[in-house]
Amino acid sequence: MSRSRLAVLVSTIVVALGVLAGLGALWLNPARAAVGPMPGEALILPADARFVMGFDMKRFTASPFYARYATERGMEPEALRELEEKTGLNPARDVEQIVVAGTPGPGQVGLVLVTGRFDLYKLGRTLETEHKARGYNHAGATLYAFKEEGPDAVALAFLDETALLFGRRDRVEAATASRTKGETPLKKNAALLGLVEKVRPGSTFWMVGDQSLLASLPTSVPAPGASADGASVNLPALKSVTVTGDLDPQVSLAVTGEAADEAAARNLADVVRGFVALVSLQAQQKPELKQLASAVSVATEQNRVLVSARIPYEMIDALKGKAKAGTPDPVK
């Protein structure tokens, strides 16, 4: 082989290795790796979030819950309902996962990451031709600002054909810029991310909140069976809370609260058991409540309180039937 041909071959191999290395860095970058049930793309969500919650839309739409109650009012998550109203996306067809990060409180809009398969051209044309939003470029991405002004202004970012970002405009722009720079702000919130890592992948929905989220919760509640001006029960402070749930073959809910120590965990577990027992006492007038109380279990594990519920759909239908039967007719 001539020297020139050898040089060309070596150059080709070097270029090929460089391309492979670049692709490997792009797709195998730890910043893109999933964290528990959360897709790696969600790491661009804000570091100051006090909660993170996820929703597996494919599992939800395939569940008996969706088949039974999807058309009933209030069954659709608020963030998803707002996104559907503004963009015309069909959640059951277009969306795979939803991740929301933010802070609780009136008027607060969490930053929403939506993954799935999106026709960006068609979606953009719909927004523009129906005059729902104004498109512009920001940090290398296409954003659409809706007509709201001031602190309530919201925007939608097209990250790529598989990911959209929706929420308050300033937050969307900041997260989009972080993505362009290769930054992962949510990684800075080690406490919250540590809770996400412990969530079992495959849950239909999940939520984690750290101590700052729980600081706004009440420190006491009325004692079981007490009147409005009666005794109250002090609630031990929680360091974190984790909620996971599934909807097939029944509604399954698991809540884990981390208390300061084992004594606080036992105290809180006793409070929860007291309320479950109160529900059982109502079973003479409402037999369906006896089944509901028996579906809930409470346990402790070191400094953690574990509450789980397994509710068959037949029980939900019975409770819904009682609620409808007790609704007075409107005044004519």
pLDDT tens by residue, 70-85: 777 666 666 667 777 7
Q: Are 255 and 268 a contacting pair, CB within 8 Å?
A: no
Rounded to whole angstroms, how far apart are CA atoms 242 and 257? Answer: 7
Q: Residue 92 — very low, low, confident or very high, per pLDDT cuts 50/70/90?
A: confident
Sheet holding 238-246, edge to edge: 133-138, 141-146, 154-160, 163-168, 111-116, 95-102, 51-56, 205-209, 238-246, 251-259, 304-311, 296-301
Which helix (H) or strand (E) covers residue 10, if one does?
helix 3-27
pLDDT tens by residue, 158-192: 999 999 999 999 999 999 999 999 999 999 999 99
What rounded mean pLDDT belongs to the chain? 81
The pLDDT score that the predictor gives to residue 115 is 95
Which helix (H) or strand (E) covers residue 123, if one does?
helix 120-129
151, pLDDT greater than 80? no
The pLDDT score that the predictor gives to residue 90 is 79
Q: Are 127 and 87 a contacting pair, CB within 8 Å?
A: yes
Q: What value does the CA radius of gyration of the chain take, rounded to a whole number of Å?
A: 25
Question: Across 99-103, 147-151, 301-305, which has the greatest mean pLDDT?
Answer: 301-305
